[in-house]
Amino acid sequence: MTAIETRTPLRRKRQPKERQPWGSPATYFVAFVFISLCLGPVIYIILGGFRDNSQITNSPEGLPNPWNFDNYAEVLASPTFWQQVGNSAIAAIATTVGVVVLGLMASFILARYNFAGRGAMYSLFAAGLMFPMTVAITPLYILVRDLGLMNSLGGVILPQIAFGLPVTIIILVPFLKAIPDEIEEAAAIDGTSRLGFFFRMVVPLSLPGVVTTGILAFVASWNSYLLPLFILSDQASYTLPLGVQAFASQYSVDTAKVLAFTSLSMIPALIFFTLFERRIVGGLTGAVKG
């Protein structure tokens, strides 16, 4: 007898739904709306500098027609503009160096050493995030005046360093805690001092966080307005945010030239932030993981 083979019908496996390689269109729409809200005013200011006052009056939302480069040329030829750029650069670089150096040293102590009051000290720095400079502007003014730093960049740099330290310490402490103790023990066996371990191991390993805090400190100092407004009274010592206000008051009827000055004053910070944007995201991600 021949055996009759019975075959059971094969069940077809359900194919998983194919995922769209480019994501959901709704996500891109929401992202486009947010990007437009952020970049729209910036683009309008930059393009407004290439127009004249009659074009802005007749068609505020229009494009330059024809393109006028005289506004930017006059601003770039002004020695006052470059003096204010130099003042902003000095304040931003000095603030960045102070925040990074002091923040890294304080974070190293808080992350790697056990001592009485360490938790309270860390909480004190964390509490500094809840007190913006606006709240302390009057005591700062009195303190800077008593120190004899009025109308000087030093009176701007020191408070900016102080208010930049809480963010720096909050970001850097997780980086330094994540360094294995075995590395420090191996370095001690090799005869490396604590200071040598700090410079040879801690600084390179915490570089992503250092870059992140440095960029944040630089951009915050470059865009600072309230503190220089209280401290600086001489136009020769103005930073760019104050220079924009003074320029807008001087050329209040020349809207196109004011827009050109404003766009030139914010472009360096935009370029700096755009170039190092990935560094910021990577540094903050490492801080959260730590």
Per-residue model confidence as pLDDT tens digits over 78-130: 898 999 999 999 999 999 999 999 999 999 888 888 888 888 888 888 888 88
pLDDT at 281: 58
**Helix or strand holding residue 252 (H, E):** none
pLDDT at 93: 94
pLDDT category at 17 given cuts 50, 70, 90 is low
Residue 280 has pLDDT above 70, yes or no: no
Question: For tokens 């209040």, what's the residue?
Answer: 252
Distances (CA, A) of 68 to 15, 81, 86, 258: 59, 20, 27, 14
What letter represents residue 97's amino acid? Answer: V
> d(Cα 167, Cα 129) in Å, to the nearest integer?
7
What percentage of residues in the chain have a pLDDT greater than 70? 87
Q: How far is CA 235 from the centre of its chain?
A: 26
Mean pLDDT confidence for 161-178: 89
In contact, 173 and 111? CB cutoff 8 Å: yes
- Could you give the dihedral angle defined by the CA atoms of residues 37, 43, 49 and 50, in that order, rounded to the nearest 10 degrees? -140
> d(Cα 278, Cα 290) in Å, to the nearest integer?
18
Longest dimension (CA), the chain: 114
Structure tokens at 43: 């683009």
Mean pLDDT confidence for 234-261: 87
pLDDT category at 163 given cuts 50, 70, 90 is very high
Judged by phi (left if over 0) then psi (alpha if -120 to 50, else beta), residue 5 lies in beta
Structure tokens at 1: 């007898």
pLDDT at 2: 47
> d(Cα 80, Cα 152) in Å, to the nearest integer?
17
Tally Cβ neighbours within 10 Å of residue 244: 19
> d(Cα 56, Cα 109) in Å, to the nearest integer?
56
Residue 288 has pLDDT above 60, yes or no: no
Q: Which is nearest to 176 in space by CA: 238, 223, 236, 106?
A: 106
* Residue 166, preceding peptide bond in cis (omega within 30° of 0): no
What letter represents residue 204's amino acid? Answer: P
pLDDT category at 19 given cuts 50, 70, 90 is low
pLDDT at 88: 93
Helix residue ranges per DSSP H, the chain: 25-48, 53-58, 70-76, 79-112, 118-127, 137-146, 153-177, 181-189, 194-197, 203-205, 207-222, 226-231, 240-250, 255-275, 277-289
Mean pLDDT confidence for 160-171: 91
Q: Which is nearest to 213 in space by CA: 67, 95, 47, 119?
A: 95
Higher-confidence position of 162 and 118: 162
pLDDT category at 40 given cuts 50, 70, 90 is confident
pLDDT tens-place string over residues 172-189 = 888 888 888 788 788 888
Mean pLDDT confidence for 248-266: 86
Mean pLDDT confidence for 44-60: 86
